[in-house]
Structure 1
Amino acid sequence: MVSVPTIAAIRFGAGLSPNTPAPANADMLYNSLQAEARPAFPPQPWAERLSLLQNRATLLRTSREETATPADRSAFEGAHQALRDASFTDLRHAIAELAYADCGFHERLTRFWANHFAAMGMGGALMRTRSAFIHDAIRPHVTGRFSDMLRAAVLHPVMLVYLDQFRSVGPNSAVGRRQGRGVNENLAREVLELHTLGASASYTQADVSQFALLLTGLRVGPQNEFMFDSRIAEPSILEVLGTRYGARVTRLEHIIKALDDLARHPDTATHIARKLARHFVADAPDPQLVAHIAAAFSQSGGDLMTCYRALLEHPAAWENPMAKTRAPVELMAAAIRALSIPRDGFLALPSRRTRLELADPLQQMGEAFEAVPNAAGHDDAAAYWVTPQTLAARIGWVTALVQRWPDGPDPRAFVDLALGDAAPDALRRAARGAETRIQGIGLILASPAFNRR
Structure 2
Amino acid sequence: MTTDPLKAAIAAHRFGLGEPSLAAVGADPAAWLRGQIGPADPPAGGPFPTAAQALAAYAEQKVPLKGLLDIPGKTPMASSPEFELRKIIGADLQSRLTTAVTTRRPFAERLMLFWANHFSVSINKGTVRGLAGALEREAIRPNIAGKFETLLRQASLHPAMLRYLDNNASTGPHSRAALRVVRKGADDERRKKLSTGLNENLAREIMELHSLGVAGGGGAYGPWGGYTQADVTAFAAVLTGWRAYDPPRDDQAVRFEANWHEPGDKTIMGKRYPEGAQALDLVIHDLAHHPSTARFVSTKLARHFVADEPPRSLVDKLADTFTQSGGDLAAVYRTLIDAPESWDGGLAKLKTPEEFAISSLRVLGTDDRQLAKGKDSALGSLGQRPHTAPSPAGWPDKADEWLGPDAIWKRVEWALRLAERVGDRIDARALARASLGPRLSEATYQQIERAADGTQALVLLLMSPEFQRR
TM exceeds 0.5? yes
Q: Give the 3-state SS of the residue equivalent to 2:266 in structure 1.
A: strand
1:321-340 superposed Cα distances (whole Å, 9 cap, x missing partner): 32111122221121111112
How has the CA–CA distance of structure 1 residues 27 and 42 changed in structure 2, closer, same or farther, with 3 Å as cutoff?
Answer: farther
Counterpart residue number, 2:24? 21
- Bigger mean CA offset, 236-245 vs 313-322: 313-322
Counterpart check, 1:255 vs 2:280: yes
- Report deviation, 1:241: 0.9
User: 2: CA distance between counterparts of 1:43 and 1:270?
Assistant: 38
Q: Give the 3-state SS of the residue equivalent to 2:348 in structure 1.
A: coil
Counterpart residue number, 2:192? none
Contact 2:266/2:273 (CA < 8 Å) preserved in 1? yes
Please point out which of 290, 312, 323 is paired with 2:337. Answer: 312
Structure 1: unaligned runs, 5 residues or longer: 65-70
Contact 1:324/1:382 (CA < 8 Å) preserved in 2? yes
1:111-144 superposed Cα distances (whole Å, 9 cap, x missing partner): 1101111113465453142112111111110111
Counterpart residue number, 2:54? 49
1:52-103 superposed Cα distances (whole Å, 9 cap, x missing partner): 4344x15779x99xxxxxx998438965344434433332322222222224
Counterpart residue number, 1:392? 409
Q: Give the 3-state SS of the residue equivalent to 1:275 in structure 2.
A: helix
Letter in 2 for 1:34: G
Letter in 2 for 1:31: G
User: 1: CA distance between counterparts of 2:459 and 2:466?
Assistant: 13
Q: Give the 3-state SS of the residue equivalent to 2:429 in structure 1.
A: helix
**TM-score, normalisation: structure 2:** 0.85
Counterpart residue number, 2:292? 267
Counterpart check, 1:431 vs 2:448: yes
- Report deviation, 1:218: 1.2
- Report deviation, 1:35: 8.3
**TM-score, normalisation: structure 1:** 0.89
How has the CA–CA distance of structure 1 residues 82 and 213 changed in structure 2, closer, same or farther, with 3 Å as cutoff?
Answer: closer
Counterpart check, 1:330 vs 2:330: no
Q: Give the 3-state SS of the residue equivalent to 1:220 in structure 2.
A: strand
1:153-212 superposed Cα distances (whole Å, 9 cap, x missing partner): 111111111111111111111112233642111111111111111112221111111111
Counterpart residue number, 2:9? 6
Q: Give the 3-state SS of the residue equivalent to 1:234 in structure 2.
A: coil
Letter in 1 for 2:54: R
Letter in 2 for 1:268: T
Letter in 1 for 2:455: I
User: 2: CA distance between counterparts of 1:290 and 1:443?
Assistant: 35
Contact 1:19/1:340 (CA < 8 Å) preserved in 2? no
- Report deviation, 1:292: 0.6
How has the CA–CA distance of structure 1 residues 192 and 74 changed in structure 2, closer, same or farther, with 3 Å as cutoff?
Answer: closer
How has the CA–CA distance of structure 1 residues 52 and 237 changed in structure 2, closer, same or farther, with 3 Å as cutoff?
Answer: closer
Counterpart check, 1:109 vs 2:126: no
Structure 2: unaligned runs, 5 residues or longer: 183-194, 218-224
Please point out which of 235, 258, 279 is paired with 1:211. Answer: 235
Contact 1:9/1:103 (CA < 8 Å) preserved in 2? no
User: 1: CA distance between counterparts of 2:134 and 2:124?
Assistant: 13
User: 1: CA distance between counterparts of 2:439 and 2:412?
Assistant: 20
User: 2: CA distance between counterparts of 1:20 and 1:87?
Assistant: 36
Please point out which of 256, 265, 268 is paired with 1:228. Answer: 256
User: 2: CA distance between counterparts of 1:19 and 1:226?
Assistant: 45
Share of identical aligned residues, percent? 35
Matches within 5 A, 1:363-382: 363-382=380-399
User: 2: CA distance between counterparts of 1:20 and 1:53?
Assistant: 46
How has the CA–CA distance of structure 1 residues 264 and 33 changed in structure 2, closer, same or farther, with 3 Å as cutoff?
Answer: same
Letter in 1 for 2:164: Y
Counterpart residue number, 1:240? 268
User: 2: CA distance between counterparts of 1:155 and 1:140?
Assistant: 15
Q: Aligned-pair RMSD on alpha carbons?
A: 2.7
Contact 1:14/1:103 (CA < 8 Å) preserved in 2? no
Letter in 2 for 1:184: N
Counterpart residue number, 1:422? 439
Contact 1:22/1:103 (CA < 8 Å) preserved in 2? no
